[in-house]
Amino acid sequence: MVLNIKVQDKGRLLRGFSFMGILGLLFCIFWGCAPKEAQNPPTAVADLPPKPEPEIRAVWVSVLAEGLKSPEEIRQLVETVRRANLNTIVAQVHREGAAMFKSTLQPRHASIADRPGFDPLATLLKEARDTSGGKAPLAVHAWFNSFKIGEQKDYLDSTPSPIAIAHPDWYTRDSKGEIQYELEQGVPAVQDHMIAVIEECLRNYDVDGVNLDFVRYFGNDRGYNPWALKRFFDQTGIIGRPAVDDEAWSEFRRNQVSNFVKRCAISVWTLRPKATFSVDAVGWGPAPVEQFSDSRPYADALQDWSGWSERGWVDLVLLMDYKRDWVADQAEEYRDWADFSSELIIRSEGRMVAVGIGGYFNPGKDLLVQYEEALDRGLGTGLFSYDRPTQEAADSDVAMRGSRSPVWDLIKTEIYPHPAPAPKPDWRSDLCFIAGFLKDESGNAIEGGEVGLAGTPYTTLSDGSGFFAFYALLPGSYQLSAPGQTIDGKTVNAIAGKVTWFE
Q: How confident is the model at residue 9 (pLDDT cuts 50, 70, 90)?
A: very low
Residues 253-259, mean pLDDT to the nearest whole number: 98
- The pLDDT score that the predictor gives to residue 27 is 37
CB neighbours of residue 77 within 10 Å: 24
Q: Is the pLDDT of residue 36 over 90?
A: no
Average pLDDT of every residue of the chain: 92
- Picking from 82, 128, 134, 25, the residue whose alpha carbon sits closest to that of residue 412 is 82
Q: Is the pLDDT of residue 40 over 90?
A: no
Whether residues 313 and 440 share a domain: the answer is: no
β-pairing, 459-461 vs 450-453, is antiparallel
Q: Is the pLDDT of residue 296 over 70?
A: yes
- The pLDDT score that the predictor gives to residue 75 is 98
**Spatial distance between the Cα atoms of 208 and 61, rounded to a whole number of angstroms:** 15
Q: Is the pLDDT of residue 141 over 50?
A: yes
Largest CA distance in the chain: 90
Cis omega before residue 421 (within 30°)?
no
Question: Is residue 52 a part of any domain in this protein?
Answer: no
Structural domain boundaries, residue 447: 432-502
Question: Is residue 346 a part of any domain in this protein?
Answer: yes
Q: How confident is the model at residue 49 (pLDDT cuts 50, 70, 90)?
A: low
Beta strands in 15-106 (DSSP E): 57-61, 88-95, 98-99
- The pLDDT score that the predictor gives to residue 285 is 98
Question: Is residue 105 a part of any domain in this protein?
Answer: yes
- The pLDDT score that the predictor gives to residue 52 is 81
Q: Is the pLDDT of residue 31 over 60?
A: no
Question: Is residue 2 a part of any domain in this protein?
Answer: no
Share of the chain above pLDDT 70, in %: 90
Give phi and psi for 481, each to the nearest 5.
-120, 115
Q: Which residue has the higher pLDDT, 390 or 14?
A: 390
Task: Please state the length of the chain.
Answer: 503
- The pLDDT score that the predictor gives to residue 50 is 72
- The pLDDT score that the predictor gives to residue 32 is 43
- The pLDDT score that the predictor gives to residue 11 is 38
- The pLDDT score that the predictor gives to residue 46 is 55
Whether residues 357 and 461 share a domain: the answer is: no
| pLDDT tens per residue, range 118-133 | 999 999 999 999 999 9
At CA 262, angle to CA 92 and CA 443, rounded to 5? 110
Whether residues 182 and 43 share a domain: the answer is: no
β-pairing, 171-173 vs 276-282, is unpaired
Residues 351-370, mean pLDDT to the nearest whole number: 98
Q: Is the pLDDT of residue 7 over 90?
A: no
Whether residues 475 and 382 share a domain: the answer is: no
Domain boundary among 426, 459, 489: 426
- The pLDDT score that the predictor gives to residue 503 is 73
Consecutive H or E run containing 121: helix 120-128
Q: How confident is the model at residue 4 (pLDDT cuts 50, 70, 90)?
A: very low
DSSP string across 405-443 = -THHHHIIIII-SS--PPP--GGGTT-EEEEEE-B-TTS
Residues 323-341, mean pLDDT to the nearest whole number: 98
Question: Is residue 250 a part of any domain in this protein?
Answer: yes
Whether residues 315 and 441 share a domain: the answer is: no
**Spatial distance between the Cα atoms of 413 and 1, rounded to a whole number of angstroms:** 16
Whether residues 86 and 21 share a domain: the answer is: no
Residues 219-224, mean pLDDT to the nearest whole number: 97
- The pLDDT score that the predictor gives to residue 19 is 35
Side chain identity at 420, as an amino acid letter?
A
Domain boundary among 391, 426, 461: 426
How many structural domains comprise the chain? 3
Whether residues 213 and 69 share a domain: the answer is: yes
The distance in angstroms from the start CA to the end CA of the chain is: 61
Give the CATH number of the domain where residue 454 resides. 2.60.40.1120
Give the CATH number of the domain where residue 182 resides. 3.20.20.80
Question: Is residue 4 a part of any domain in this protein?
Answer: no
Q: How confident is the model at residue 42 (pLDDT cuts 50, 70, 90)?
A: low
- The pLDDT score that the predictor gives to residue 13 is 37
| pLDDT tens per residue, range 158-176 | 999 999 999 999 999 999 9
Residues 447-475, mean pLDDT to the nearest whole number: 98
Question: Is residue 397 a part of any domain in this protein?
Answer: yes
Question: Is residue 406 a part of any domain in this protein?
Answer: yes
Whether residues 438 and 422 share a domain: the answer is: no
Residues 46-52, mean pLDDT to the nearest whole number: 68
**Spatial distance between the Cα atoms of 411 and 399, rounded to a whole number of angstroms:** 19
| pLDDT tens per residue, range 59-82 | 999 999 999 999 999 999 999 999
- The pLDDT score that the predictor gives to residue 48 is 66
Whether residues 112 and 152 share a domain: the answer is: yes
Whether residues 182 and 42 share a domain: the answer is: no
- The pLDDT score that the predictor gives to residue 22 is 38
- Picking from 415, 482, 426, 382, the residue whose alpha carbon sits closest to that of residue 60 is 382
Domain boundary among 398, 426, 454: 426
Angle between helices 226-236 and 247-271 (to 10 degrees): 110
Whether residues 42 and 71 share a domain: the answer is: no
Whether residues 419 and 454 share a domain: the answer is: no
Residues near 219 by beta carbon (within 8 Å), at least 6 away in sequence: 300, 301
Residues near 137 by beta carbon (within 8 Å), at least 6 away in sequence: 128, 129, 131, 421
Q: Is the pLDDT of residue 29 over 50?
A: no
Q: How confident is the model at residue 44 (pLDDT cuts 50, 70, 90)?
A: low
